[in-house]
Structure 1
């Protein structure tokens, strides 16, 4: 079947629908039924709203009649220290169009873009044992950071989070309040010691504007973001000692995503991670039935916290990477 691969710029509604049909069909074919596919609002947001971390290049593989047989999305990092690498956010082929060279054609276009932009590596997230791992393995990708998906049932009874003396909760939806922006940026920097395996990517350098921008992208793409923080005001200035973030990529989602959970090193060992996560459960929207999260297999402290909160293992995944 003749396939034409093109880049997609500022897609109209019809192109968003065609893209969404491909990623939905691939998701439903490749993943268990209990894992909800992306909503159209999420698809449109990713295609139409720029990333805060780099330049996105989107590719479509079209049949002679113009229908989409496959799609790919590549994030070329622009943050300092990562201009040499990229992240392949999507490479999906309709199930009925597989084994016809569609995925290979998309990968060739992605690889050409990487080479033209001077990138020397690219990473992607894949399900272990899935069709994507086999495809990527044939192209030199290796699992450089094994991770696992865990899911929590929000309907189960749990205690509210309690903080040690000297700490108070702060909760906000969307962008961080101005009076906590700098403190939040400092806390984000504590992610630097999270396990990253052999991923060829430097941790971002956070400041208040970058924290605001990261949240604003989620909102501009139609999502919802809730943050719960543990704040220490004993030194005279508000210090964000710990925080956790929950995201709905579409407001109607019944399965939310747990983003970062961080405890600043000077405040560890006091139960703050557990406390902010429990308070999040009390604050999250009532229609949310499940919370999904990924944890690096070597991140034992977070695994212990999640196990205590009732997260159950769902499926093995990993960050796969190859050199260009």
Structure 2
């Protein structure tokens, strides 16, 4: 039986100019081809979101992007994320066009990741590997060959999906006495800005963020979202007696995908927990979005697998787990 071997490609890498319009379409085509091969159940990448992601990093991070070129064409993409105040470089994206796999392109991109990790004075590289049988196994084999190993004690991310039944979610449950829902749009109205900043401090009570920095972060998130041409559906619950924002949730959508949304953060003030407000604020947000997004059919979300409380809320809403993404890391 005869066999054929892939010819090793001669790949070079260069930084991505986020404003090089002639490069954006080929990069989008590359991501689209990879998605259709690796994760065909996920929404197709949005070209405007790609351009915005290159230009507007997540607040509190710095991004570096590199393209792999073979025969003058883009065949691979690497995105590195450096979070402020950490010793790690996160491999956010390392993808090779399916037609160019098995020819050394991934290794060239990985070598660039190691070089940039050291240049940024970081001592660790981290990444996520899914548990899916085909794509996950291939990515795990590549990560192992490059020297990464599963990170002991690190929480996995669970990707879950909610198929939307507009008939049931359009009419959310009544709120407990003393609370009312407010719909907040993509940009948070000024009267609720400090309330949300206070709520977000409960997401990490061991390291609370000063109010003025939390406000700045919220506005920076809005700038990033607008730069990526995304829009948000946000709903809060207000305590009628005090006017205080006591629960909040958000969901975002890209410009080119009206059928899918990504569920974001949900938080409830500790003094108001035990009343199912986390579940209720999510239901009210979904119902509000469905009244305006007539094509919306699915919501995806990511949660750390040790966040059992939020996973129980998602289970009650009808989310079903579809994938676990384990943490891998190595010292460089």
User: In angstroms, what is the RMSD of aligned CA positions?
Assistant: 2.1
Q: Confirm whether residue 248 of structure 1 aligns to residue 256 of structure 2.
A: no
Which residue pairs with 1:152 in the alignment?
162
Which residue pairs with 2:319 in the alignment?
311
1:224, 1:249 within 8 Å by CA — same for their partners in 2?
yes
2:150, 2:326 within 8 Å by CA — same for their partners in 1?
no
TM-score normalised by L of structure 2: 0.86
TM-score normalised by L of structure 1: 0.88
Change (3 A) 1:203 1:53: farther
2:156, 2:327 within 8 Å by CA — same for their partners in 1?
yes
Q: 1:228 pairs with 202, 225, 235, which one?
A: 235
Which residue pairs with 2:200 in the alignment?
188
Query: Residues 259-296 of structure 1, C-alpha deviation per residue, up to 9 Å, x if partnerless?
Result: 11112222211110111111011111221110011122
Query: Residues 55-102 of structure 1, C-alpha deviation per residue, up to 9 Å, x if partnerless?
Result: 211101101x31011010112223xx33x2232221100111112111
Change (3 A) 1:46 1:104: same
Q: 1:21 pairs with 26, 29, 33, which one?
A: 29
Change (3 A) 1:251 1:225: farther
- Partners of 2:302 and 2:127 in 1: how far apart? 14
Structure 1 or 2, whichever has the larger Rg, is 2
Q: How is 1:55-74 mapped onto 2 (pairs within 5 angstroms)?
A: 55-63=62-70, 65-74=71-80
Change (3 A) 1:150 1:204: farther
- Partners of 1:149 and 1:189 in 2: how far apart? 25
Q: Confirm whether residue 39 of structure 1 aligns to residue 49 of structure 2.
A: no
1:77, 1:85 within 8 Å by CA — same for their partners in 2?
yes
- Partners of 2:18 and 2:208 in 1: how far apart? 29
Which residue pairs with 1:136 in the alignment?
143
Shift in Å, 1:48: 2.8
Query: Which structure: greater helix fraction?
Result: 2
Shift in Å, 1:204: 6.9
1:232, 1:240 within 8 Å by CA — same for their partners in 2?
yes
1:148, 1:313 within 8 Å by CA — same for their partners in 2?
yes
Report how many aligned residue pairs link the two structures. Answer: 310
Query: Residues 212-234 of structure 1, C-alpha deviation per residue, up to 9 Å, x if partnerless?
Result: 11122112111011111112253
Q: How is 1:1-324 mapped onto 2 (pairs within 5 angstroms)?
A: 1-31=9-39, 33-63=40-70, 65-78=71-84, 81-82=85-86, 84-129=87-132, 130=136, 131-138=138-145, 139-143=147-151, 144-156=154-166, 157-158=168-169, 159-192=171-204, 207-235=214-242, 238-250=243-255, 252-284=257-289, 285-324=293-332
2:46, 2:255 within 8 Å by CA — same for their partners in 1?
yes
Which residue pairs with 1:198 in the alignment?
none
